Structure 1
Amino acid sequence: MSPHIPVLKDEVLEVFSSLTSGYLIDCTLGFGGHTQALLDAHPSLQIIGIDQDQEARAYCQAHLPKDRLKILEGNFSAKIAEALEYGPIVGILADIGVSSLQLDALERGFGFQSPNLDMRMDQSNPLTASYIINSYPKLELERVFRDYGEIREYKKMAQLILEERQKRSFESAVQLSGFLEKHFKKHRIHPATLAFQALRIEVNQELEVLKSLLDQLIQSHHKLKGTLLAIISFHSLEDRIIKTAFREWEKSCICPPEVMRCECGNHHAHGKILTKKPLVASENELSLNPRSRSAKLRVFEFGI
């Protein structure tokens, strides 16, 4: 059994229920929860799993069937072109989030109680949350908190951190979360929640990686006729990017808004959206895995 609880597993299985054979790309293999479920459900399916986390890859190498799983090392935006060379590609899955094991492992520095301030999904990445907090200039800190945390008081947060680090460095997630809790009011969530989200996105360049994936997929749409693409996101920034891309891909007419009559030929749709509203966790899943509450699954089918 995978040490990570895969979110929306039943919904993912339903999305890909029509598959019989071919290759499915799991862009975020992690500890293999989704992949194992898909392999069990489809005995003739082959999976190409991509992951940048060495610990996760080692686990899957040891526990998943080697004859039906090919593992690629690296970030999915860097490896998707290689994965698309296999064929036929019948499905693509991306679970854009941190695994439970990464969140719970104190040494990885994702959680409020961690003695580290790290947050790297790829341990070879030179950029850490510690470097950002202790070294970024004020305007860059403001950008991170504003753009990736959507924090209203982003200027105040950056200024307070700047003043504090002149006295002493931030050495741990515990220290940072406690500092933010002291200076900002607690509403529905812990005052450090959005700041930690922003730092994690900056460290791992999560939004840029997602945009790169989507760009590469649409550039390769000619290879993907009939392919199902399912993406799970965990916050509004990611979901907005996915929703916007899918809507653009579905457009048949690409004439500018000011044009009175279509001049483009009206045949530019790359496929269709299969989820007008995102799929979310059931009450049963929410009771078993509260972290699934923010998960949203959107599905696109490339043109046949």
Structure 2
Amino acid sequence: MENTPHIPVLYREVVEAYKSCEKGIVIDCTLGYGGHTSLLLEASSQRNVIGIDQDPTAIAFSTRRLESYGERIEIRQGRFSAVAKTILSEKNGQVCGILADIGVSSLQLDIRERGFSYESDCLDMRMDPNATLSAHEVVNTYSQSELEKILRDYGEVTNARAVAETMVKKRPFESAKELSNAIFHLMPKGKKIHPSTLVMQAIRIEVNDELGELTRLLDAIEQSSLKQLRVGIITFHSLEDRIVKQRFTQWAKNCICPDDARRCTCGNNHSIGKVITKKPLTAKEDELRANSRSRSAKLRVFEINR
């Protein structure tokens, strides 16, 4: 695999998932550093990819990296839910697949100036550097109840109230490192991840509206007029995975009558396809050894066939 600052997770599983989409366009909603896109382009010479990203650094890197694929690759900047909706309308009948990797890239985590890491000297966490809301505003201006809700819902932090209270008492914070040090004593120890990781994750999800973006993407796919479409979503968080699982289950249902209905009155013909992965695909042992960040990755795949 080409030397790149980001190792794509579940790379074998992604290539396998799109074998049925050999001809046509795959929308890579989270282009990043081109890892999944390059694999999809290599796997079939008759496949094109439209990549989407809101991070100008990622776009600049991938533009150079994928240049050799010529007209087979197109890159667009913006929030993937809105851009994908536009592409589905523009390229109606040509799109055969959609892939979304709902996570922060390795380079974003590793560059401390981006403020994603608990070791960062700033508080930012914006995937789009031009976005208005940053981690600095969330941490320093949100009320204690708002912070508690974010920590509980997005980070599943068990003592969210105590952490939020400490954040409010000790702010203002100017860096992620400063915040991490202030709450470190409240974090559970002994896990494989750094104690502050879940707090940082919760703030990042709030800053970038990640769950909202995922929901809007699924809405756009559901509302599209495409007859056939392979949909693959990679998640790293139980909340994201739950959203995808529930939506795929809903899409596969023929009967949408209430559970307490005595008989079916809906017509029993509402399914738009089938779930391909009954259980999410996860990284194999060799990938886990080579890329520890793949340990939380889950891929679910759905085949739309209206």
TM-score using structure 2 length:
0.95
Question: Is 2:80 aligned against 1:76?
Answer: yes
Partner amino acid, structure 2, of 1:95:
D
Partner amino acid, structure 2, of 1:111:
S
Among residues 167, 180, 183, which one is paired with 1:180 in the alignment? 183
1:303 matched residue in structure 2:
305
1:6 matched residue in structure 2:
8
Once the two structures are superposed, residues 261-290 of structure 1 have per-residue CA deviations (whole angstroms, 9 ceiling, x without a partner) of 111111110100000000000001001001
Question: Is 2:154 aligned against 1:148?
Answer: yes
Partner amino acid, structure 2, of 1:61:
T
CA positional deviation for 1:60: 1.4
Paired with 1:73 and 1:9, the residues of 2 have a C-alpha distance of: 23
Paired with 2:121 and 2:236, the residues of 1 have a C-alpha distance of: 25
Among residues 64, 71, 75, which one is paired with 1:67 in the alignment? 71
1:133-144 aligned at under 5 Å gives the runs: 133-144=139-150
Gaps of 5+ in 1: none
Partner amino acid, structure 2, of 1:258:
D
Among residues 184, 196, 199, which one is paired with 1:195 in the alignment? 199
2:125 matched residue in structure 1:
119
Partner SS for 1:18: helix
Paired with 2:236 and 2:273, the residues of 1 have a C-alpha distance of: 24
Once the two structures are superposed, residues 194-236 of structure 1 have per-residue CA deviations (whole angstroms, 9 ceiling, x without a partner) of 111100000000001100100111011x31x221100000010
Gap change, CA 1:185 and 1:282, over 3 Å in 2: closer
Percent of aligned pairs sharing the same letter:
52
Runs (4+) of structure 1 exceeding 3 A deviation are: none
Paired with 1:276 and 1:184, the residues of 2 have a C-alpha distance of: 35
2:19 matched residue in structure 1:
17
Question: Is 2:212 aligned against 1:208?
Answer: yes
- Single out whichever of 4-13 and 175-184 deviates more from structure 2: 175-184
Partner SS for 1:243: helix
Partner amino acid, structure 2, of 1:203:
V
Partner SS for 2:21: coil
Residues 85 and 217 in structure 2, CA contact (< 8 A), matched pair in contact too: no
Paired with 1:290 and 1:237, the residues of 2 have a C-alpha distance of: 21
CA positional deviation for 1:254: 0.7
Paired with 2:115 and 2:28, the residues of 1 have a C-alpha distance of: 25
1:20-31 aligned at under 5 Å gives the runs: 20-31=22-33
CA positional deviation for 1:100: 0.6
**Number of equivalenced pairs:** 299
1:95 matched residue in structure 2:
101
Among residues 52, 55, 78, which one is paired with 1:53 in the alignment? 55
Partner amino acid, structure 1, of 2:263:
R
Paired with 1:235 and 1:6, the residues of 2 have a C-alpha distance of: 17
Paired with 2:60 and 2:51, the residues of 1 have a C-alpha distance of: 12
